[in-house]
Chains A and B, each alone.
Chain A
Amino acid sequence: MSSEWPLWEVFIRGQHGLNHRHVGSLHAPDAELAIRHARDVYTRRNEGVSIWVVPSAQITASSPSEKGPLFEPANDKVYRHPTFYDIPDEVGHM
């Protein structure tokens, strides 16, 4: 029980041209085996063309209590979206 394998987070690129996406986690003794396990656990049905693994302990996450200060400032900046601007029909597609 003393030597539980560390936890790794797994990211898979589903198709060429897409980002790697977090799919889950797994235990493995080292990075090489983490990739092999990720292949067995997360790509049994052709789900991926590339795998990243990262030790879970190495991930720094924003804290849920910071949600307000971090993300609310974006709420009142509607002018960042193209739909904020009225373009007359005569101008055509923009």
Chain B
Amino acid sequence: MGLEFLARVRKTSTWLGGVLALMAATYASPLLGLGFGAGVFWSLVNLQLLERIVVPLFGTDRGSPGATQKLGFALLGMLLLFAAGAVLLSLLSPLALLLGFLLPLAVIVLKATSQVLLGSRAWGALIRHPFRAAFAAVALAVVTWFALGALTRATAQHATPTETSAPETHGTAAPGGSEHATGAEEGDQEEGGQEFVNVITLIAGANHGKPWADFLYHYEILVFSLFIALLLLLVAFLASRNPQLIPSGLQNGVETVVEGLTDFITGILGPKHGPRFVPFLGTLFLYILSMNLFGLIPFMHSPTASLNVTVALALTVFVYVQFIGFKELGPLGWLDHMLGSPRDLTGWLLAPLMLPIHVLGELAKPISLSCRLFGNIFGEDMLLVAFASLGVTMLPFQNVPFGIPIHALFFPLALLGSALQAMVFTVLSSIYILLMLPHESHDEHGHGGDAQHAH
């Protein structure tokens, strides 16, 4: 029991407080969750400052000038902390703040109790025999099960009076927020309608009826995809801001990714044309990958789970491919390509047949690209939501605000699918580009090689 114990308490309380605050924000109201989180944070800072005060006073180096200086800073911090506490109390719900404040203290009590219990002789006797230990575990599980059931039934009866007796939470959450609150009471918590709750639905729900909230809700996919684009920009900027000859840290990681993508795309398009298309195709890959994976972060949403985004991406590729065709082959060459490159009589006879086939084929490419990406990512999200709601309804207590997270089993599948679909999109785009490039490139390449050999 010492400073190391306090550090462990801090870690546990941080995690527990974060999870509980997120749960409160989802099931009750965002402001309540914020208040709870602020309370936990305040309490943790308070503990830290107390430690800073106690250590110079009673530690080994008491009386030294350094210790006195630390003590002074800690006392100043304490004053600031109490001022911040007063401001917080006037802004947020006092009940949530109090609960958050009590959480680290509860963690300390529980940890100390468990340490005393684990050191005792009765515990040692219990765990020495596997049979006794198993019996104790089963007994504990059964008792917890029934206690939890009784507790939730009791709170369910009192739930409606307490909800109405705390007007500040309802008052701040306004009509839209009560939508979520009632949803939580009815038991279909994990999903708002057909998808996971995300930041924007939370904000829009809390500010129901206001024009900017409705606007945000309507364009949530755009907001998320712009946010991801900005994130990628930021990473690229930070990595290339101060380039070193011997890279380290972020620059190292980004260089690995870029080199891998360059190798991959050059492997498909060939060393002559490959490097030209790496910026476009590599950006496409990274952007789609980030968008696919974004839905797996709690309170976030995959923009690619909407047909609008995938159609936009596929149309970009379509226009780019046609532009490359015009540029590389010339208008006549492009027409020739569309006619199936007729060189003899049979070719010219078949040309009227080949033209519609080629045109249809070109038009089918964006449709298949967009539908594939959309279907896969959307299906993945639907799968996760379906299993999450199944996990919530698996527990028989209707009012327990948590369920069994069985959808976590599908996270590896979702990770694999996201990466694979981003790769498939990129590979197919590069193959469409490859088909548009001059077919004689191999001969040209051969001649170039010969010329180089000759000289």
Chains A and B come from one and the same complex: no
Interfacial residues, chain B to chain A (CB-CB below 8 A) = none
